[in-house]
Amino acid sequence: MIPIIQNSLKYTDKTAVIDQGGSYSYSDLYRSAVNTAKAIKSLSENDSPVLYMIPSGFDYLKVQWGIWLCGRIAVPVHIAHPKQEIDYLIEDTGADLLIYDEQAVEHLVDFEQHNIRKISINELESVRPIMDLKLDEINIHNDALMIYTSGTTGRPKGVVIGHQQLDAQIRSLTKAWNWSSDDRILNVLPMHHIHGMVNISCCALYNGAVLEMHRKFEPDIVRFKMSSGELTLFMAVPTIYHKLIEHFETLGQNEKDNWQQGMKKMRLMVSGSAALPVSVLEKWNEISGHILLERYGMTEIGMALSNPLEGERRPGTVGQALPFVSVKVMDELGNQINEPNTAGELFVKGETIFKRYWNKTEETRMSFEDEWFKTGDVVEFSADGYFKILGRKSSDIIKSGAYKISALEIENAMLAFPGISECAVVGLPDDQWGEIIAAVVVGDISESEIRKRLKDCLAHYKHPRRYIFVDTLPRNAMGKIKKAEIVNTFFGA
């Protein structure tokens, strides 16, 4: 059996999930997942990945677990993804089935050109299920998830995570942050990335905790839930803490007091997925009384470094290696750095590391050295072992709102628009978003036309927010665009 599901079965009648539709026990979740698996099996006996576009909530989980119980790979797709992103995922995964929520999916697209069956969760309920599900054939050696992540080349890559790695990631965080069935957490993060899906949802369900799921981040919902005094945990990205601080400033004294009283009853608040500015950590500490626990992770490796639950949480650092994870820092010549405060690339090894990039044997091979995964993040550690993330090796990776975004993917999309002869996409430092995406364009096209066309081809969080139109782009002698100069000259950042 699959460890997360097996472990959750201990909690039968206890509440597992609360969403806008109601409250569901662990038994409800298991029963619904088994029924979903039986329906999926009757639709297709194939073993290709299954795409699902379902908002955060009970239905999302029952479909995810249903896919797992068929022994197939679950590929979550954001409900707001436009047609071209979905086209790419269908082609790249070779999926023959897409399960979606027709009430929530924003761009109900025509999949005629693809050899894929799309079925809504309502339709799935009326499918005549197979009777015999052979659950004992599904185990820790099956692949579990494929999460698409942007890289320094080409389109996003599918990161394949098996149940074994997923289990190790969950056990690592359970141990480090002391998860238990007494916990109750609110998720407001998207469910197509590790932070919302693994750190919050999987850890909660593995441990018999209560998982409250809200479809998207809304500051007053977070305040309302925290004010109730029922939550024990909260995990989010720095942009969300920044927005919560702004929200706090708009409140009357009564609302502030209630929120602060509720937060006193919580045991832990975590920040990650992007650098947490020390100013945000300090301001949030003043408001909430909590020192945010900052940790570091990546889609390919799960979580790797974390400040401690007990002991010093050092602002501006991401702490030390988590359980089941080994780390080392390497210089450009391939030598291990043992001197504190010396910058080098972070390498990570352990049970938590992904299995492979989907259909990309060469990229998978190139991303490892021996068994160490090369993160592309530049770090240093202090004499007492606390790590600091200094930045990425590649300036073509942008982190905006904690989404990892490839500048090259946006440039390639824009270069296909008529009228654009050259363009460069960069990240500009920003207090709230970490980085803001900006584009410099050479050509005869308006900003509104670019924005309109981008809506059809890239997820909303990949859209540039600032544009400048110029006659030429600065290039070096080799013809390479000088991105640092663009940031300085055109945006004064």
Select the residue interacting with ligand MCA from 93, 172, 239, 352 (CB under 6 A): 239
Q: Which one among 53, 138, 166, 189 touches ligand MCA, defined by CB under 6 A?
A: 189
Helix 219-227, helix 253-264: angle, nearest 10: 60
CB closer to ligand MCA out of 142 and 375? 375
- Residue that the structure tokens 């320094």 belong to: 152
From the list 24-32, 96-104, 186-194, 335-343, the region that binds ligand MCA by CB under 6 A is 186-194
Which DSSP letter does residue 286 get?
A: H
Q: Using the rule CB under 6 A, which residue among 8, 64, 227, 273 binds ligand MCA?
A: 273
> Among the candidate windows 137-145, 204-212, 294-302, 485-493, which touches ligand AMP by CB under 6 A?
294-302
Q: In what order do the strands lie in the sheet with 434-443?
A: 420-430, 434-443, 466-469
Which residue number, 118 or 195, has a Cβ lying nearer to ligand AMP? 195
Residue 389 binding result from ligand AMP, ligand MCA, none, given CB thresholds of 5 to 8 Å by partner type = ligand AMP
379 binds ligand AMP per the rule CB under 6 A: no
Residues 147-186 that bind ligand AMP (CB under 6 A): 149
- Runs of H (alpha helix) within 44-82: 58-69
Contact between 29 and 65 under an 8 Å Cβ cutoff? The reply is yes
Q: Binds 318, which of ligand MCA, ligand AMP, none (CB < 5 to 8 A, cut-off by type)?
A: ligand AMP
Among 461, 467, 469, 491, which residue interacts with ligand MCA (rule: CB under 6 A)? 461
Round to whole Å and give the CA distance between 196 and 328: 27
Alpha carbons 255 and 278: distance in angstroms, whole number:
26
- Strands in 97-100's sheet, in edge-to-edge order, are 117-120, 97-100, 50-53, 74-76, 143-149, 157-162, 356-357
Query: Is residue 240 within the footprint of ligand MCA (CB under 6 A)?
Result: yes
Residue 406 found at the interface with ligand AMP (CB under 6 A): no
- Per CB under 6 A, 404 contacts ligand AMP: yes
Helix-strand-coil percent breakdown of the chain, rounded to 5?
35, 30, 40
Contact 266, 229 (CB under 8 A): no
293-298 sheet: strands from edge to edge: 22-25, 15-19, 210-213, 184-187, 233-236, 268-271, 293-298, 302-306, 320-321
381 binds ligand AMP (CB under 6 A): no
Distance of CA 301 to the CA centre of its chain: 12
Structure-block tokens of residue 142 = 């099956």
Look up residue 336 and give its DSSP letter: B
Please provide the DSSP assignment of 407-447 as one string: HHHHHHHHHTSTTEEEEEEEEEEETTTEEEEEEEEEES--H
Here's the x/- map for ligand MCA, 400-439, by CB under 6 A: it reads as xxxxx----------------------------x--x---
Instruction: Please answer whether residues 85 and 35 qualify as being in contact, where contact means their C-beta atoms are separated by less than 8 angstroms.
Output: no
Q: Within 13 Å and on the Cβ side, how many CA atoms surround 106? A: 14
465 binds, among ligand AMP, ligand MCA, none (CB under 5 to 8 A by kind): ligand MCA
Residue 472's beta-bridge partner residues? Answer: none
d(CA 407, CA 151): 9
Given 7, 239, 299, 406, the residue binding ligand AMP (CB under 6 A): 299
* List 195, 225, 388, 392, residue binding ligand MCA (CB under 6 A): 195
CB of 135 to ligand AMP, least distance (A): 31
Selection from ligand MCA, ligand AMP, none that 461 binds (CB < 5 to 8 A by kind) is: ligand MCA
Q: Assess 299 for contact with ligand MCA (CB under 6 A).
A: yes
Q: What amino acid occupies position 286?
A: E
Instruction: Find which of ligand MCA, ligand AMP, none residue 392 binds, CB within 5 to 8 Å per kind.
Output: ligand AMP
Return d(Cα 271, Cα 238) in angstroms, integer. Answer: 6
Distance CA 339, CA 352 (A): 27
| Sole window of 48-56, 61-69, 256-264, 289-297 interacting with ligand AMP (rule: CB under 6 A) | 289-297
Which one, of 401, 426, 400, 399, lies nearest residue 411 by Cα? Answer: 426
194 binds ligand MCA (CB under 6 A): yes
> What backbone phi and psi angles, to 5 degrees, belong to 24?
-135, 140
Cβ-based nearer residue to ligand AMP, 86 or 270:
270
User: Does residue 318 bind ligand AMP (CB under 6 A)?
Assistant: yes
Distance CA 460, CA 240 (A): 17
**157 interacts with, out of ligand MCA, ligand AMP, none, CB within 5 to 8 A per kind:** none
Amino acid at 263: M
158 binds, among ligand AMP, ligand MCA, none (CB under 5 to 8 A by kind): none
Which of the stretches 127-135, 297-305, 462-470, 483-491 binds ligand AMP when contact is defined by CB under 6 A? Answer: 297-305
* Residue 375 interacting partner from ligand MCA, ligand AMP, none (CB closer than 5 to 8 Å by kind): ligand AMP
Q: 243-282: which residues touch ligand AMP (CB under 6 A)?
A: 272-275
Site for ligand MCA in 334-393 (CB under 6 A): none
Of the pair 24, 433, the CB lying nearest ligand MCA is at 433
Q: What residue ranges bind ligand MCA (CB under 6 A)?
A: 189-190, 193-196, 216-217, 237, 239-240, 272-273, 297-299, 400-404, 433, 436, 461, 465
Q: What residue ranges bind ligand AMP (CB under 6 A)?
A: 149, 194, 272-275, 294, 296-299, 318, 375, 377, 389, 392, 399, 404
